[in-house]
Amino acid sequence: MRFLAKKLTSICTLYVIIFANLSSAIAGSDYVILPGDDAQEKIQEALILAEPGDQIELGAGVFKLTDGLSLDVDNVTLIGQGMYKTVLSFKGQKSGSEGLLVTSDQVVLKDFAVEDTKGDAVKIKGVDGIAMIRLRAEWTDGPKPTNGAYGLYPVQSKNVYIDGCVAIGASDAGIYVGQSDKIIVRNSRGEYNVAGLEIENSFNADVFDNVLTHNTGGLLVFDLPNLPQQGGHNVRFFRNKSIDNDTPNFAPEGNIVGIVPRGTGMIVMANENVEIFDNEFSGNDTMNIAVASYVDDFDDETYEPTPKKIHIHNNIFGKSGQKPDTGEFGTIVHETVGTPVPDIVWDGVLPLMDYIFFGQADEDKLAIHDNKHLAGVRPFGNANMIMHVIAPIFHKAKFDILPYQKSYPSLPEVEVIIRGRPAAELMN
Amino acid sequence: MFSRVFLQLVATACLFVGVSSSVWAETAINDELLMAKKPAKKLADYGLFLDEAARQPMTRVISYELNNPLFTDYSLKYRFIYIPRNAGGAPYDETDVLAFPVGSVLGKTFAYPNDFRSPDKDIRFIETRLLIHKQSGWKAYPYVWNDAQTEAKLKVAGKRKSIPVIWKDGTQSSIDYAVPNMNQCKGCHVTSNKKLAPIGPKIRNLNRDHSSGDAVFQNQVSYLRDIGFIQGGPKQPSKMPRVPEPLNVESGSLFKRARSYLDGNCAHCHAPGRPADTSGLYLNYEEKREVHWGVNKHPVAAGRGAGGLRVDIKPGQPEKSILFYRMKSTDPGIMMPELGRSTVHLEGVDLIGKFITELK
């Protein structure tokens, strides 16, 4: 009920925004395109012929599209009448592995929806400056493995700004920022995705005031091997709500995100310098936060699979970890740390020499302090998974939080500059 | 074969005419229009061909072929290159795409025979794509042919065409042919610094006999050098790099032919600095690191393209290899390459299947 009420308020707010925009958007557009039979050609032609500085406006209604759209002109604004009014529907898509692809710098995408693409909904590749404002990416038939992988998908980009967006039904991540630098994701919502919001192989990201609910996992920060950019670091997650994530994992098999257990508030995998504070985690069936090493074998000498300097403080943890997922990851969590699962679980995996002799270096250790654990479950568990795998009879999880009660200096705020000014100014 | 032979003969004839004395033909190519900021509305405006049907190329418009061409729904492809007189040529380069000078035009006409049982008869041109090297860099323009085959018009936003064909086995179907829009051209034809560029004309792809029908003229690179389109480099073809023809078993080992196929069909995106380098899967011919050309490599963002499989290439097991799975699909959310294909390349699938089976 509480959630329904919230959804209603957010929809109401949206309508206010839409009406505010209707008046302002009409004036000054260089192209105005309305739904109709030739919409595919009209939109694509505008996206090609636009000059830097142009605004392309999409009218209200459903645009039925058969092929992926793409934009490769710098400094163009593509604007609709609102994320529930202007809908680019790709239900009949015949080609293109995404709905909209942007490969140019300083682009602003605003106030429209991209629905039912065969692959990703909106992909941004290799740009400096991209703002996605009040966009909706959705697969309208609910969670299905045949849905596209990513909703909003900036990759290999710099100055990435996502604000007020909604992503629903992605078979990988609703909002996914990969191999990028200088990132803000705020005021956005992810529902019924495998991963609600994921930051992968990225540097300098601020993720705040987002709501992730009814996904398989809410927030993910991963670092993977064998990629052009790796060594993810300096990522802050604050004032987010990752609550009631309860959708069974529906990722197509073979995808790394397939490991996420149903009902995970957050997973930190590999990465260095991740600060997690002032968030709310609750109602997550398997666990609130997992901190883990990269799990697959890899062939990459430069890759660092162990998470370092992960700093978790001042969060609120509600009731979670009551019904762990029965998949591989969920089972091992439940077998090692028991049910109910502690609020913060570390897999305890270190390079073997460190594991046996030295332990993790002090300056890299997990730091945990000043969190509120409301449900009375154990605040922390070290799953000690290496022992669980090599000698199960000697395996014992550790629940002592004292060795981790330390702190790191706060990470700096991330500044995203688009069109020469702080990206938040592009909201209106 | 008739039209090809004819095309070649005319090209050669025109060349000799051009080289000897007459300049009547070459003045007809509209270099000014080719270099203009805006593209011409009609292909014929450039004057690259003698006739309105673009079967007879002008002087200095030279046809050529590649060792490992991209598969595009079994379409026939007629490639040609034009370099204006006094523009110079491309310096010989062992590895990279040849740097043709400003003023150059690379063209490719996509065509289908009515009936693949007689592939040289009743050939319909579908589109002619031009890559023009302007002062501001390479530009790509697709020109779509009308049904009467009298006129090809610029379509910046691309176009879908249903093309009825009769296949080699006599069965009939329609190809849902997609003419790419200008951005889609760039989707493949893009360099690491985001500039548009040609893909095919590398020495290793051009190093083959320049033939026409039964007549073999000479090595294609040597020929292009003789006419000044390529400058420098070793005289003997055997001293120049060459990739084998993927589907010609006499052309090289299975391994090399498969890597050549993947190079021609995938590496325009799957190579360092190219559009799909986000995946870390590099299928360019030079890539030596096994994990990077797919062996036991986990996907990153393949989504349902992974098809429930765990690695790109599982040695010995094509059916457990994502790469093989995606080649066999025609679903836009799964298939590879993403563009230019609505049918399965059976011969390519067969080649890559054998290749993976043999891998250890």
Question: For A180-199, how does the pLDDT look when each residue is reduced to its tens digit (9 = 90+)?
Answer: 999 999 999 999 999 999 99
Q: Does A94 touch chain B (CB under 8 A)?
A: yes
Q: Is the ipTM of this complex over 0.95?
A: no
Mean pLDDT of the region B193-209: 91
Q: How far apart are CA A319 and CA A384, in angstroms?
A: 23
Average of per-residue pLDDT values in chain B: 88
Say yes or no for a CB contact (<8 Å) between A296 and B298. yes
Of B23-32, B79-88, B269-278, give the lowest mean pLDDT range.
B23-32
Say yes or no for a CB contact (<8 Å) between A254 and B190. no
A chain contacts of residue B176, beta-carbon cutoff 8 Å = 94
Confidence of residue A353 (pLDDT cuts 50, 70, 90): confident
Domain boundary among B188, B206, B239: B239
Q: Which of B38, B274, B297, B300 to mutate: most A Cβ within 10 Å?
A: B300
Domain boundary among B193, B215, B239: B239
Backbone angles phi, psi at A6, to 5 degrees: -65, -40
Distances (CA, A) of A300 to A57, A228, A295, A297: 46, 12, 14, 10
Q: How many CB atoms lie within 10 A of CB B286?
A: 14
What pLDDT was estimated at residue B213?
44
Mean pLDDT of the region B66-71: 94
Q: What is the pLDDT of residues A128-166, one digit of tens each?
A: 999 999 999 999 999 999 999 999 999 999 999 999 999
Cα nearest neighbour of A98 on chain B:
B333
Between A27 and A54, name the one with better pLDDT.
A54
Say yes or no for a CB contact (<8 Å) between A149 and B298. no
Tokens linked to B198: 């040609």
Q: Count up the domains in chain B and report the number.
A: 2
Q: Does A141 touch chain B (CB under 8 A)?
A: no
Whether residues B259 and B219 fall in one domain: no
Per-domain boundaries in chain A: 119-415
Mean pLDDT of the region B274-283: 90
When CB atoms are compared, the residue of A125, A148, A179 closest to B303 is: A148
- Would residue B244 count as lying in a domain? no
Whether residues B219 and B269 fall in one domain: no
Tokens linked to B71: 């598969």
Is the pLDDT at B217 greater than 80? The verdict is: no
Say yes or no for a CB contact (<8 Å) between A44 and B157. yes
Whether residues B231 and B255 fall in one domain: no
Whether residues B140 and B276 fall in one domain: no
Say yes or no for a CB contact (<8 Å) between A171 and B307. no
Mean pLDDT of the region B21-32: 64
Residues of B at the A interface, defined by Cβ within 8 angstroms: 156-158, 160, 176, 178, 181-184, 186-187, 190, 194, 272, 275, 277-280, 290-292, 296-310, 322, 331-333, 338-339, 342
- Would residue B272 count as lying in a domain? yes
Chain B nearest-CA distance from A358, in A, is 31
Closest alpha carbon to A230 in A170, A305, A312: A305
Whether residues B107 and B231 fall in one domain: yes
B chain contacts of residue A171, beta-carbon cutoff 8 Å = 303-304
A151 close to A176: Cβ distance less than 8 angstroms: yes
Q: Residue B242 contacts by C-beta under 8 Å, 6 or more apart in sequence?
A: B67, B204, B207, B208
When CB atoms are compared, the residue of B301, B310, B333 closest to A118 is: B333
Mean pLDDT of the region A370-386: 95
Closest alpha carbon to A389 in A346, A347, A339, A343: A347
**Angle at A138 (CA atoms; ends A136, A141), nearest 5 degrees:** 155
Is the pLDDT at B22 greater than 60? The verdict is: no
Among the residues of chain B, which ranges form H helices? 2-20, 31-35, 182-188, 203-206, 220-226, 254-266, 322-328, 346-358
Say yes or no for a CB contact (<8 Å) between A300 and B291. yes
Chain A nearest-CA distance from B158, in A, is 8
Is the pLDDT at A21 greater than 80? The verdict is: no
One-letter amino acid at A409 equals: P
Whether residues B155 and B286 fall in one domain: no
What pLDDT was estimated at residue B216?
62
When CB atoms are compared, the residue of B157, B298, B309 closest to A45 is: B157
When CB atoms are compared, the residue of B178, B300, B302 closest to A224 is: B300
The parent domain of residue B263 ranges over: 249-358
Chain A nearest-CA distance from B291, in A, is 7
What pLDDT was estimated at residue A18?
43
What pLDDT was estimated at residue B209?
87
Distances (CA, A) of A100 to A56, A65, A299, B45, B139: 14, 11, 34, 33, 22
% pLDDT > 90, chain B: 69
Say yes or no for a CB contact (<8 Å) between A227 and B300. yes
Whether residues B162 and B60 fall in one domain: yes
In terms of Cβ atoms closer than 10 Å to its own Cβ (0-12, 13-18, 19+), residue B79 is middle
Q: What is the pLDDT of residues B72-90, one digit of tens each?
A: 999 999 999 999 999 999 9
B55 close to B48: Cβ distance less than 8 angstroms: no
Q: How far apart are CA B250 and CA B260, in angstroms?
A: 14
What pLDDT was estimated at residue B135?
95
When CB atoms are compared, the residue of B157, B182, B332 closest to A119 is: B332
Domain boundary among B192, B208, B239: B239
- Would residue B193 count as lying in a domain? yes
Whether residues B235 and B259 fall in one domain: no
Whether residues B232 and B304 fall in one domain: no
**How many A×B Cβ pairs under 8 Å?**
133
- Would residue B192 count as lying in a domain? yes
Of A138-142, A208-212, B222-226, give the lowest mean pLDDT range.
B222-226
**Cα A320 to chain center, whole Å?**
21
Say yes or no for a CB contact (<8 Å) between A72 and B309. no
Chain B nearest-CA distance from A71, in A, is 7
Chain A nearest-CA distance from B339, in A, is 7
Is the pLDDT at A38 greater than 60? The verdict is: yes
Mean pLDDT of the region B152-161: 90
Whether residues B20 and B91 fall in one domain: yes
Per-position DSSP letters for A366-422, written without gaps between them: -EEES-EETT-S-SEEE--HHHHHH-GGG---B---GGG----PPPPPP--EETTEE
Mean pLDDT of the region B179-186: 86
Chain A nearest-CA distance from B200, in A, is 22
B chain contacts of residue A96, beta-carbon cutoff 8 Å = 332, 338-339
Say yes or no for a CB contact (<8 Å) between B280 and A126. no
Q: How far apart are CA A233 and CA B328, in angstroms?
A: 38
Between B332 and A286, name the one with better pLDDT.
A286
- Would residue B26 count as lying in a domain? yes
Is the pLDDT at A22 greater than 60? The verdict is: no
Is the pLDDT at A225 greater than 80? The verdict is: yes
B chain contacts of residue A176, beta-carbon cutoff 8 Å = 301
Burial of B126-161, coded b for 16+ CB within 10 Å and e otherwise, reads bbbbbbbbeeeebbbbbbbbeeeeeebbbbbbbbee
Q: Which residue has the tokens 């163009």?
A: A76
Chain B nearest-CA distance from A95, in A, is 5
Is the pLDDT at B16 greater than 70? The verdict is: no
What pLDDT was estimated at residue A252?
86
Q: Does A96 touch chain B (CB under 8 A)?
A: yes
Q: How far apart are CA B162 and CA B82, in angstroms?
A: 31
Tokens linked to A262: 């149903």
What pLDDT was estimated at residue A409?
97
Whether residues B187 and B260 fall in one domain: no
Whether residues B215 and B161 fall in one domain: yes
